[in-house]
Structure 1
Amino acid sequence: MSVHPTEQAVITPMPVLEVHSLIKSYAKRPILRGVSFNLNQGELVALLGPSGSGKTTVLNCVGGVDRADSGTVSIAGHVLRDLNADGLAQLRRRHIGTVFQFYHLLPTLSAAENIELPLQLLGVPTHERESRVQELLERVGIAHRAAALPGQLSGGEMQRVAIARAVVHRPTLILADEPTGSLDTATGAQVLDLLAEIVQETQAALLLVTHSPEAVKHCERVLRMQDGQIVEGA
């Protein structure tokens, strides 16, 4: 028996990130002027705009590093402004993974130890930590460099470690701030491919701040910022 189109179930993607009317000023200078957008599960979204448009401030507010003057940020149903310092720290540890332009790896820890750190902070048992780290080392193609310190790794290898560290705890949301900005074109393309593949596999949402046209090609949607507002894509 055929089903009438109106009777078919409509599956609505789950919003992982909901940003509503963010306003932020520094020293009375407006930086964000009512920024609103959503990210759904498994969605790759690029955040573009000239320097000073507010991209980094959006990323900091979304990541809980900074608080907006007004407006709301919700991640996996949790409203950031309703959380105290401990609650915010827990949310960031469980739900957010971050990839930086300059890697931010701890120099005295090996590649494997850097990847393992988020799991240690969450109290994940040793055997599961070891299993997840080994799986990701192989997944990002640097299992042979597990014992190397960051200073012994190339830029591409460090960014692969940083990506593995960002996803080892299976976050809901991945924030990437110019992740290919310090890499040559070929290595940057490999890193972008890897990020896109991992997002597809894990169904996390990815918010990618970038100036790279190549990075934008990996994204399904583009948010363009200008003068503290999103002018396209929201």
Structure 2
Amino acid sequence: MANPPHILVVEDDRETRTLIAKYLRTNSCNVTVAADGREMDKALADNRIDLMILDVMLPGEDGLSLCRRVRADSQVPIIMLTARGEDVDRILGLEMGADDYLPKPFNPRELLARINAVLRRQASAMNASATPDATALAFLGWQMDFRLRELRNPEGARIAMTSAEFDLLRAFVERPGRVLSRDSLLDLTQGRNAGSFERSIDVLVSRIRRKIEADPQDAQLIKTVRSGGYMFTPDVNAIAMAQPT
């Protein structure tokens, strides 16, 4: 990013909060801290936040609930901090719309690496949106505009998607009729350095199905291939999108 990223750290433990803030500041980040949901809301209202670090275990409204609430009207990247390394914590965070997770205890250097990875993906997405010759693809009346990073349903309504959801759906739409393993989908969307696990793909697929499938429990557009991965089944066509005015 051209300017130092502004990171919001939502963590109720004073020692952990101070440690994270100090380390990020020494690595050229602007940092705002919050101890609970009330302070988080104020920080988001008063500042332009580039990324949020959100602890799961918070007093009052917990981190998962806060993540879901923030994601309802904001696409700010969120990295969840989980007290345990169990898959259930990671999966719940991803289902609420988090972009990444990190189990405690963690090395501050790894947290910084994950922050940089998420911000790089976001910057890459923004650059792609600004490319004048970016393409758009359509399937069954749905339209994906890569320039604007928008998905519209057959009625023309814009469907809200997180960056991770859009990137994964794009990987499918650009490769219709091909069986894509979870490993290959991770490589295509996040890269091996992101430290993600294969189940995160399953969570994202489930979220996308809820947005594009007539019956998410009987998916016809993104089919599960036993012992293989997933396959996007509709025919896909390139289309011309109107230039923004």
Work out whether the TM-score is over 0.5. no
TM-score w.r.t. length of structure 2: 0.29
TM-score w.r.t. length of structure 1: 0.30
Higher relative contact order (CA 8 A, sep 6+): 1
Q: Which has the higher strand share?
A: 1
